[in-house]
Structure 1
Amino acid sequence: MDAEVRLRTRGSVGYEADPAPDCELDYYLVYAEPDDVWRGVAPCGVAVEEFVLHEDFAAAGVDSAVWSAGEGWWSSAGFSRSLRADARVRSVVRPASRSAAAEAYRRLTDTDLPLAPQLRELFADRDLRPGSAPLRLGPAQVPTGFFDRRVYRILFAGDLGEHGMADLWCREWLQPVDDPAEPRVLGRGSLAVQTHEFSWELRRIGFGMAWSIDLTALLGSDSESEPAALGTLLHRLRRLLRDQGLIPVTVERFS
């Protein structure tokens, strides 16, 4: 397929089999007003999240904790839900790197941002994801040479925008697609790791305020029932769009 980008080696795209513990957490800066980030006003809080996964890498829930001036650290599943459901909340929350969150936290508290193990101790109110048996999406027959075929959807809230789209193409994980037959599919990519073959599509849902990456995984012979490469790739694709300002909502398994 011409629109596909073939990424055959880990080194060519910075593929990491085992992300560092702090990289498994998602960091956000919280502002008092929507325009503060563009006006250079310092954030008033820092949020930290971590997706909790089932053994098959589908999402079981989201743990979170927030530091805000005057309140210190607190944990609320309600904040996690509103971040994903309420555009007004998203307007004052910006995804950030660990280093950016640590810098903001030091300015606010004059202390170092706790490391991942200490941050996890602050998670007290999990935002649960409903559990259900995978729905069959696509052909049930597994292609020759593979032992399993799975389909996952990583769902995101927010507006990607033209700038975010342009940066995605520069990252080599997605190749632009212009297919009149599938107007909601804007990008495709693929990757081969060991005996496994992965392919994915970036889709626009609704009127552009929700997005998804739909991943098809063809799993080859492997000693692991849940190959680490699959979990790492789902994590990497989720982080890819989060880095462009979208908020990951859930990871669903359809087959």
Structure 2
Amino acid sequence: MTEASVTSVAVTSTLDYYLLDPHSPRGLLVEEFELADDLSATRLRTAGWTPADGGWWSSAAFARAVRADPDVRARVRAVTRAGAAETYRRLGGGTLPDEETLRGRFRDDVMLAGAAPLRLGVGPPVHRVLFAGGLDAERLAAVRSALRLDGRTDQGVGRLRVDGTAFRWELRHAGGVAWCLDVTAEPLDREALRPLIGRLTGVVRGHGLVPATVECLG
């Protein structure tokens, strides 16, 4: 994946899709983070579909468990909307509803604690996506390549300049037990940052990590 494809590939969906029990899929999980004006996450909206359980359901408890419990997290795998639609059809659901209809399935949200931005020092605000899960050496190498990170450490940096705005992203350990993706724009341009953060988060999701929240630091 080239740097251009990370940042400018057409977005075909705004929701996140996962297979449930991916080795023998039995359903889908659909999610969306609701963001404030500063792009910090205020709540996680989530719904599952399992035909054996009667169709669509919404569970904040399950969404939390995906992020807190490695055994539960191992039961989900990120897919594209096209992949989710194929599974939905194969399991007897027919045509996967459009995304506005799917949002109507979100009923039991995870509220995410808001706080005043933590100022890290001079420079632009850092928009940090926190992820649950781990990366072995093979997957770490793959996600670093997909994100076009330079350097040889976990804290490689990706860069892009568009119309005078310098974008920068960095993947690192967060507290030694999780991962985070820090994204900045200088000068600050949140309208351009919003889709970029979504695309970069999608790349990381595709390599096995599950986003837990988005923070604005600064």
Q: TM-score, normalised by structure 1?
A: 0.78
The aligned runs of 1:221-236 (5 Å cut-off) are: 227-236=190-199
The alpha carbon displacement at 1:193 in A equals 2.1
Which whole-Å CA distance do the structure 2 matches of 1:18 and 1:103 have between them? 20
Name the residue aligned to 1:254.
217
Q: Is the 8 A contact 1:27 1:98 kept in 2?
A: yes
Indicate the structure (1 or 2) with the bigger Cα radius of gyration: 1
Name the residue aligned to 1:171.
146
Name the residue aligned to 1:3.
none
Which whole-Å CA distance do the structure 2 matches of 1:19 and 1:247 have between them? 19
- Runs (5+) with no aligned partner, structure 2: none
Q: What SS does the aligned partner of 2:156 have? A: strand
Identity %: 41
Out of 81, 85, 99, the position equivalent to 1:98 is 81
Which whole-Å CA distance do the structure 2 matches of 1:172 and 1:74 have between them? 34
Name the residue aligned to 1:15.
7
Distance 1:59 1:17, change over 3 A: farther
Distance 1:103 1:71, change over 3 A: same
The alpha carbon displacement at 1:17 in A equals 8.5
Distance 1:102 1:18, change over 3 A: closer
- Runs (5+) with no aligned partner, structure 1: 1-5, 143-148, 179-184, 221-225
Out of 187, 200, 205, the position equivalent to 2:169 is 200
Out of 5, 15, 27, the position equivalent to 1:45 is 27
Name the residue aligned to 2:57.
74
The aligned runs of 1:49-128 (5 Å cut-off) are: 49-68=31-50, 69-128=52-111
Which whole-Å CA distance do the structure 1 matches of 2:6 and 2:116 have between them? 33
Distance 1:105 1:173, change over 3 A: same
Does residue 241 of the first structure (1) align with residue 209 of the second (2)?
no
Out of 218, 223, 243, the position equivalent to 2:186 is 218
Which whole-Å CA distance do the structure 2 matches of 1:53 and 1:216 have between them? 16
Name the residue aligned to 1:130.
113
The alpha carbon displacement at 1:61 in A equals 1.0
Which whole-Å CA distance do the structure 1 matches of 2:85 and 2:99 have between them? 12
Q: What SS does the aligned partner of 1:109 have? A: coil
Out of 136, 145, 155, the position equivalent to 2:130 is 155
Which whole-Å CA distance do the structure 2 matches of 1:72 and 1:237 have between them? 31
Which deviates the most, 65-74 or 158-167?
158-167
Size of the aligned set, in residue pairs, is 216
CA RMSD between the two structures: 2.1
The alpha carbon displacement at 1:71 in A equals 2.8
Q: What SS does the aligned partner of 2:167 have? A: strand
Could you list the per-position Cα deviations for residues 42-100 of structure 1 after superposition, in whole angstroms to 9, with x for gaps in the alignment? Answer: 21111100111001211111111101122310011111111111111101111111111
Q: Is the 8 A contact 2:7 2:200 kept in 1?
A: no
